[in-house]
A and B are shown apart, each in its own frame.
Chain A
Amino acid sequence: MPLRDLFKPKSRKKYITIPAQVGESPAEQEPQELTLKTCPRCGRRNREEDLDNNYKICPNCSYHYPLTAGERIWLMTDENSFSELQDNYQTADPLSFPGYLEKVEKAREDTGLEDAVVTGITKINGEKVLMGVMDAHFLAGSMGSLAGERVTAAFEKACAEKLPVVLFTASGGARMQEGMLSLMQMAKTSAAVARFHQEGLLYISVLTDPTTGGVTASFATLADIIIAEPGALICFTGPRVIEQTIHQKIPNGFQQAEFLLEHGMIDQIVHRTDLKKLLGNLIALHN
Chain B
Amino acid sequence: MSYKYSLEIERDYQELEKKINALKDDALKKNIDFSQEIATLEAKLRDDKEGKYNTLSGWHTIQIARHPQRPTTIDYINAIFDDFVELHGDRYYRDDPAVVGGIARFNGVPVTVVGHQKGQDTNQNLQRNFGMPHPEGYRKFCRLTKQAEKFKRPVICFIDTQGAYPGMEAEERGQGWAIAQTLMQMSILKTPVISLVIGEGGSGGALALGVADRVLMLSYAIYSVISPEACASILCKDVSRGPEMAEYLKLTAKDLYSMGLIDEIIPEPLEGAHTNPTATYKIVQERLQMHLDDLLSGDIDQLPEKRYNKLRCIGVCE
Contacts and interface: CB of A to CB of B under 8 A. Distances in A.
B92 to A, nearest CB: 11
Interface residues of A, number: 57
Interface string B250-261: 110000100101
Given A89-B318, A216-B176, A246-B167, A187 B183 contact: yes
Contact of B250 (A95, A214, A219): A95
A186 B176 contact: no
Interface in A188-240: 188, 190-191, 193-195, 197-198, 213-214, 216-222, 234-237
A222 B308 contact: no
B180 interface: yes
B184 A193 contact: yes
Interface in B179-220: 179-181, 183-185, 187-188, 203-204, 207, 210-211
A15 interface: no
B307 interface: yes
Nearest to A216: B176
Contact of A236 (B175, B181, B225): B175
Given A176-B225, A255-B171, A188 B312 contact: yes
DSSP majority for the B interface? helix
B267 to A, nearest CB: 21
Interface string A244-270: 011000100011000000010100000
B164 interface: yes
A188 to B, nearest CB: 5
A77 interface: no
Interface of B: 164, 166-168, 170-177, 179-181, 183-185, 187-188, 203-204, 207, 210-211, 223-226, 230-231, 234-235, 248-251, 256, 259, 261, 307-308, 311-312, 314-318
Given A90-B317, A217-B176, 8 more contacts: A174-B225, A176-B225, A179-B248, A180-B223, A180-B224, A190-B184, A194-B185, A237-B170
A257 B310 CA distance: 35
7 contacts: A183-B203, A184-B261, A187-B211, A221-B180, A237-B164, A242-B171, A254-B168
A94 interface: yes
A135 interface: no
A91 B317 CA distance: 5
A154 B177 CA distance: 21
A176 B225 CA distance: 6
A190 B180 contact: yes
Contacts of B314: 145, 181, 184-185, 187-188
Contacts, number: 175
Contacts of A176: 225-226, 231, 234-235, 249
B256 A180 contact: yes
Given A176-B235, A236-B175, A242 B317 contact: no
Given A180-B223, A184-B315, A255-B171, A236 B204 contact: yes
A245 B179 contact: no
Contacts of B187: 187, 190-191, 194
A183 B315 contact: no
A35 to B, nearest CB: 31
Contact of B172 (A149, A214, A219, A263): A263
A241 interface: yes
A152 interface: yes
Nearest to B208: A217
B312 A245 contact: no
A257 B180 CA distance: 18
Contacts of B185: 194
Nearest to A226: B177
Contacts of A148: 315
A3 interface: no
A179 B188 contact: no
B315 A222 contact: no
A57 interface: no
A98 interface: yes
Contacts of A175: 225
A71 interface: no
A284 to B, nearest CB: 26
Contacts of B167: 237, 242, 245-246
A246 B176 contact: no
Contacts of A246: 167-168
A188 B207 CA distance: 11
B316 A145 contact: yes
Contacts of B175: 217, 236-237
